[in-house]
Amino acid sequence: MNNARANILARLWTAISPDDLAPFESSVAGSALELSRTERVARLKQRMEAMHAEVVITSANGWIDALKATLRQRLLNGLLYAPDTALGKALAAVWDSDLPPLVGYTETIEQCKERLFAIDASITSTQGGLADVGALILWPDSDEPRLMSLAPALHIAVLDAAKIHDSLAQAIAHEHWREKMPTNILLISGPSKTADIELVLTFGVHGPKELIVLILDG
Amino acid sequence: MPTRPQKVYYFGTCLIDLCYPQAGMAGIELLQREGVEVLFPQQQSCCGQPAYNSGFPEEARKVARQQLKAFPNDYPIVVPSGSCGGMLKHHYPKLFANQPEFAEAQRFSGQVMELTEFLVTVLEIQLEDRGQPIKVTWHSSCSALREMRVIDYSKSLLRQLRNVELVELRRERECCGFGGSFSVKQADLSSAMVSDKVADIEKTGASRLLSGDCGCLMHIGGALDYQKSLIPAQHIAEFVWERVHG
Amino acid sequence: MANSSVVDFPKNFTKALNDPQLRHNLRSAMDTLGMRRRTLFSDPVSFEQLRATGDEIRQRALRQLPELLEKLEKKCTENGIQVHWAETPAEANQICLEIIQRHNAHRVIKGKSMVSEEMHLNHFLAEHDVEALETDLGEYIIQLDHETPSHIIVPAIHKNRDQIARLFHDKIPNTPYTEVVEELNAIARKVLREKFLAGEVGVSGVNFAVAETGTLCLVENEGNGRMCTTAPPVHIAVMGLEKVVERLDDVPPLLRLLTGSATGQLITTYFNMITSPRKAGEKDGPKEVHLVLLDNGRSKIWADPELRQTLKCIRCGACLNHCPVYTRLGGHAYGYVYPGPIGSILTPQIEGLVNAGAMATASTFCGACEEVCPVKIPITDILRRLRNESYQKVDTPHAVKGHGYKLSVIESLTWKGWALNNMMPWANALSAKLLGLLSAQLPRLPKVGLLKYWGQSRTLPKFAARSLHALAKEKGLRDE
Ligand code: SF4
């Protein structure tokens, strides 16, 4: 079995041709999109709504009220949140008793798997957004683990309008991703969906059935 | 746009030669009508595609060499077929890659043009329709569509004809299932494909099926005939010549 | 790769062609997928530019393949991902099994992966007392029915909702019969949620692996892939070794081409980039991530510059959706894991011409596949090459396995005769004349030999009394 590596590489290195080693000339030019902040917000909203996400444009001061209003319209058994983040602290400071209780993701998955999969909703921050395709960028970490945006049926994401990029290419370049790739990066464009039965599009197959994006613009 | 030449070569194709010479002659008439002298090398035969596509490149090359010899001068080589045109224009350089005739094959390929494209772009032909009103439909051969990319030219000829109504097929871009030896080696598949094509044609209500390729016409025409359809299949050159000739 | 060693293509084809339900299901699905793709790539100029970029990225990656694989291995290892190499599916299966056994695991949850199909991993694991459950909805459906995928993107596309409704009702305990797609999805969601909780090892494929950062990229809509790569403590990613790309910057154009070509989506719901196992302090994600690199003939294909282009494939399935042959047969008739145009060029190279060479004959060379292929694979040229090598013993180191298997005296002689006839103008003229005379005697040619097959749905053409050569001469056309 250990020979597999040596054999495969030997086959490849032996077969390499001079052409393969010559410098590679690129002949295609890329064309980049350049959008204003307002356009980026508008495009992301329009694209994500087309993918059945609910997008609310709010402000740095008003978003918690917007969130509360949304939550009060639903019957939820709890809101999974990250207690150690700025966002989590802001929520905990002003949480009301009539709202679904905040549940911190404080243990490892091995300790809380069953409970985690039973919670109705979650709220996370985002690393940014992509205007051209309409997607969120998430960099889950020790405070905001990966399953937060996957296990609950409702995922609420908070997005700072200033962090919406024109495109994935731009996000990778501007934020220097290649130098600091985290454990996991996610692009999320809407609630989970499938079209595996007769290509009929239905939402909420394995992941969240609903995605709400709160864009903090101003 | 190439300048208007005084002389052109005509590559008649083997299928037209044997089964549809009237379509070949119509193409010649249209060229002559525009004041161009048509040269017809008697040494020509087949483009070599049947062997080329069936796994016999050596045999294809032998036949192709004969064509290189038959068309020695630098006149445009006009071909009333997208399929044979595609072979001559796009596959000869591949067939002769690493062969002594490579340069010759490139020279030859560079001169090849499909008939309707030549009539429209080089000769800027103007047609006056002298025929009775008729509804026709159009089949795009795959090579005319994807290799030679001449469908717009073919259809623009039809659109010049005042009394001709062109009704498009629902699946105009889908292959009729001919594919040369495919039609007999995969006869069931080929039959399934052509039956769908026939149904599509019947649905248009057209009274004639036109195409720029006699391979497809032989195939679809044969299927129409087999199903006792009254819709004849005809090469575009023959149809256009009939309309303008009166 | 085959489900049984010998595939009876003619029988499979006839069976598929005689199944009107199948043809109907496929036709409408392929029309929809094609239409969605066209809507997304509606501007031909920008599409051509994008796919030129995609082609270039894949070419650039392939020409540096050995170097990039070494780099990928190095980067992954630095990131804590354990890299394994397998020459054959059997080796790859064994690697997976050993990892699973090391964790005393018996329940594997799987995201969609064509390479795992190529390995027949589920079957292998089942023989070793490990249950591998497919969690992609389409894969789940066919697994319930003990079938294989009939399409590389939409694996259950050959089934309609009634068939799925009956299947769920029969196979999932306490499930009422329903044809409502939303309800069918909800049933699957419920069953699979429990499985996600219980899964001990997750298996996934890989869409692109980025050498410069050691990142595995996965594209999906459902979220099951994320589940499989996040919830269990161990994640095994299996990939064909051609899936490596050089840079992170190569990802955005390929992603756009993949989702757009496959389903006409600007982007899928999820794009999942995995660069390491769970780090200290992180609360979820697998503690171990393994990457299995499978060769299975790819390094041999790679050695030939023309055949190598096969490996540019990003498995978008667009060539299937646009193929008039696939549309009429569906995937199962091909008998191997990869159907349609990509299957017809890839499979004979992996399985050899003797087993799978017939796949290369199931094409009219219509070129619809090439027209949509997002990385510009010259599919028809490669099919032609496979046909050539079927008939010829080739004297090069890169010849496809089984070359010359069709060597047949009769067929060779036929083409030699044809060539002779078309090389010599006098012979050509004579035969034209004879055929012309013949047609005057017989209104139609007799239906014998191959003509019999022609005659099953088409009447035969008539030979003209006088050939174009003769008419041109009569008309006084000159030669120069
Ligand atoms: S061959 Fe091209 S079109 Fe077909 S699956 Fe591969 S990338 Fe897609």
**pLDDT of amino acid C439:** 62
CB-based contacts of C441, cutoff 8 Å, min separation 6: none
Residues 143-172 (A) with a CB less than 8 A from some CB of C: 145-147, 150, 167-169, 172
Residue C375 in contact with ligand 1 by CB distance below 6 A: yes
The domain covering A35-216 belongs, at the CATH homologous superfamily level, to NagB/RpiA/CoA transferase-like (3.40.50.10420)
Rounded mean pLDDT, C175-181: 94
Cα C405 from Cα C389, distance rounded (Å) = 8
Least confident range of A7-21, B57-71, C6-20:
C6-20
- The answer as to whether C327 is a domain residue is no
ipTM of the complex model = 0.96
pLDDT for C389 beyond 60: yes
Pair of tokens at residue A170: 């731009």
**pLDDT of amino acid B104:** 97
Let me know if chains C and A touch, i.e. at least 3 Cβ pairs under 8 angstroms: yes
- The answer as to whether C40 is a domain residue is no
3-state secondary structure chain A: CCHHHHHHHHHHHHHCCHHHHCCCCCCCCCCCCCCCHHHHHHHHHHHHHHCCCEEEEECCCCHHHHHHHHHHCCCCCCEEECCCCHHHHHHHHHCCCCCCCEEECCCCHHHHHHHHHHCCEEEEECCEEECCCCEEEECCCCCCCHHHHCCCCEEEEEEEHHHEECCHHHHHHHCCHHHCCCCEEEEECCCCEECCCCCCCEECCCCCCEEEEEEECC
Instruction: Please name the member of C91, C248, C303 whose beta carbon is closest to the beta carbon of A177.
Output: C248
**CA distance to partner chain C, nearest, from residue A147 (Å):** 7
Place of tokens 């036929």: C414
Domain B134-245 has CATH 3.40.50.2000: no
Domain boundary among C282, C299, C316: C299
Q: Where are the domains of chain A?
A: 35-216
Rounded mean pLDDT, C132-155: 94
Domain boundary among C299, C320, C340: C299
Question: Chains touching chain A at 3 or more Cβ pairs under 8 angstroms?
Answer: C
Closest residue in chain A to residue C256, using alpha carbons only: A133
Does the predicted model carry a pTM greater than 0.90? yes
CB-based contacts of C160, cutoff 8 Å, min separation 6: A198, C21, C25
- Within an 8 Å CB–CB cutoff, is residue C472 touching chain B? yes
At C391-418, the pLDDT tens digits run 887 777 778 888 887 777 778 888 888 8
**CA distance to partner chain A, nearest, from residue C276 (Å):** 5
Cα B139 from Cα B137, distance rounded (Å) = 7
- Per residue of chain B (246 residues), give pLDDT as tens: 567 899 999 999 999 999 999 999 999 999 999 999 999 999 999 999 999 999 999 999 999 999 999 999 999 999 999 999 999 999 999 999 999 999 999 999 999 999 999 999 999 999 999 999 999 999 999 999 999 999 999 999 999 999 999 999 999 999 999 998 899 889 999 999 999 999 999 999 999 999 999 999 999 999 999 999 999 999 999 999 999 986
pLDDT for C3 beyond 50: no
Q: Which residues of A touch C161 (CB under 8 A)?
A: 197-198, 200
Report the residue of A5, A148, A196 to disrupt the C interface, i.e. the one with the largest count of C CBs within 10 Å.
A196
Residue C219 in contact with ligand 1 by CB distance below 6 A: no
- The answer as to whether C216 is a domain residue is yes
Least confident range of A54-58, C347-351, C408-412:
C408-412
Beta bridge partners of A58: A216
Domain boundary among C272, C299, C326: C299
Q: Where are the domains of chain B?
A: 7-122, 134-245
Least confident range of A114-118, B150-154, C91-95, C436-440:
C436-440
- Of C152, C320, C377, the residue with max ligand 1 atoms within 8 A of its CB, to mutate for a pocket test, comes to C377
- The answer as to whether C331 is a domain residue is no
Q: Domain holding C161: CATH number? A: 3.40.50.10420
Q: Is C27 in contact with B170 (CB distance < 8 Å)?
A: no
**pLDDT of amino acid C427:** 75
DSSP B52-121: HHHT-HHHHHHHHHHHHHH--S-S-EEES-HHHHHIIIIIHHHHTTTSTTHHHHHHHHHHEEEHHHIIII
**pLDDT of amino acid C4:** 45
Instruction: Please name the member of C14, C367, C450 whose beta carbon is closest to the beta carbon of B147.
Output: C367
Which range of residues forms the domain containing residue C423? Answer: 409-474
Report the residue of B8, B10, B13, B19 to disrupt the C interface, i.e. the one with the largest count of C CBs within 10 Å.
B19
Task: Please give the C-alpha separations between residue B115 and each of B23, B118, C180, C476, in angstroms, as whole numbers.
Answer: 12, 5, 54, 21
Other CB atoms within a 10 A radius of the CB of residue C120 amount to 18
Other CB atoms within a 10 A radius of the CB of residue A100 amount to 19
**Amino acid identity, residue B143?**
S
Q: Which residues of C touch A187 (CB under 8 A)?
A: 267, 270-271
Tally of structural domains, chain C: 2
